[in-house]
Structure 1
């Protein structure tokens, strides 16, 4: 079997894997890469690219901060110092979703995939098998891919109320005990 190359950035042992259709528009991202961020690289990308990647990184940081012991005082501190580093809990994947779980050696209940945006999700998985959350039609689960499909990571599309539900879904799939959620 010919596996395609894993392309993305983040921890080599992630608990969450974000699948997203685009990459930061910076040198170093135009080619296929597979590496963790360096300390403060997320903050540097935000400074250089503006609001779009601030939203994506902020929502991803809120998810990790709510779920894991980040050893940071705020989700903003986590975003700006540890997000997508080897000390972080996440990986952003630019590869096909079907190849990711085997290449990162991900197992059920230790990691969850998140596919960001429904148009992109339609290119990555069979959307007819998705199960919608009972209160939020825009949050959908794929048991086959152990993947949560969400609206694109933008405050208008994925507000704090919906993000809180998404975090609870991820928590239940990771079998994490009841811990306080830090979304403020």
Structure 2
């Protein structure tokens, strides 16, 4: 598996080359000097360098994507290395290179939803929960609140995991 941690002038891509989950975020973390996603402690170094804000983002991502309930181990050892990618500044949805692979798109927060509105303007969305915090296009695209516990609490994480499990 190849890893991508390159910075383009327009789009920042951080994660696996053939992901199952793509998180579109509005702002990047600060990358430490000599940092590489390939290093064993890459996520913990990124959290240490960026503080609580990015710890929350990466923790919620891990809680959504981890194949088991051991999200902390998954976050610290596997997140962004095998199944996930973060795109910052994207104006189009990522396309998968693998036929028959489902790619889940998470448009995180209102800024990203507006940036990618041209990609979603012709789609119909359904509410996943009664608060309209999570909407789904009945395929593989979710518009979500920002990855912060006040906006994306554990109950919403559980609903997201249940939706993905039911459609995979």
TM-score class normalised by the smaller sequence:
0.7 to 0.9
Distance 1:171 1:15 in 2: 13
Structure 2 unpaired stretches of 5+ = 1-8
Q: Hey, what does 2:53 align to over in structure 1?
A: 52
Distance 2:147 2:101 in 1: 23
- 1:80 Cα offset (Å): 1.1
Q: Bigger CA drift: 75-84 or 120-129?
A: 120-129
With over 3 angstroms needed to count, the CA separation of the structure-2 counterparts of 1:134 and 1:75, relative to structure 1, is: closer
Q: Hey, what does 1:115 align to over in structure 2?
A: 107
Distance 1:77 1:94 in 2: 25
Distance 1:45 1:36 in 2: 9
Structure 1 unpaired stretches of 5+ = 29-34, 176-184
With over 3 angstroms needed to count, the CA separation of the structure-2 counterparts of 1:107 and 1:136, relative to structure 1, is: farther
With over 3 angstroms needed to count, the CA separation of the structure-2 counterparts of 1:105 and 1:9, relative to structure 1, is: same
TM-score (norm. length: structure 2): 0.78
With over 3 angstroms needed to count, the CA separation of the structure-2 counterparts of 1:171 and 1:36, relative to structure 1, is: farther
Aligned residues between the structures? 155
Contact 2:26 2:89 in 1 (8 A): no
With over 3 angstroms needed to count, the CA separation of the structure-2 counterparts of 1:99 and 1:157, relative to structure 1, is: closer
With over 3 angstroms needed to count, the CA separation of the structure-2 counterparts of 1:143 and 1:106, relative to structure 1, is: farther
1:83 aligns with 2:79: yes
Q: Hey, what does 2:19 align to over in structure 1?
A: 14
TM-score (norm. length: structure 1): 0.72
Distance 2:57 2:99 in 1: 25
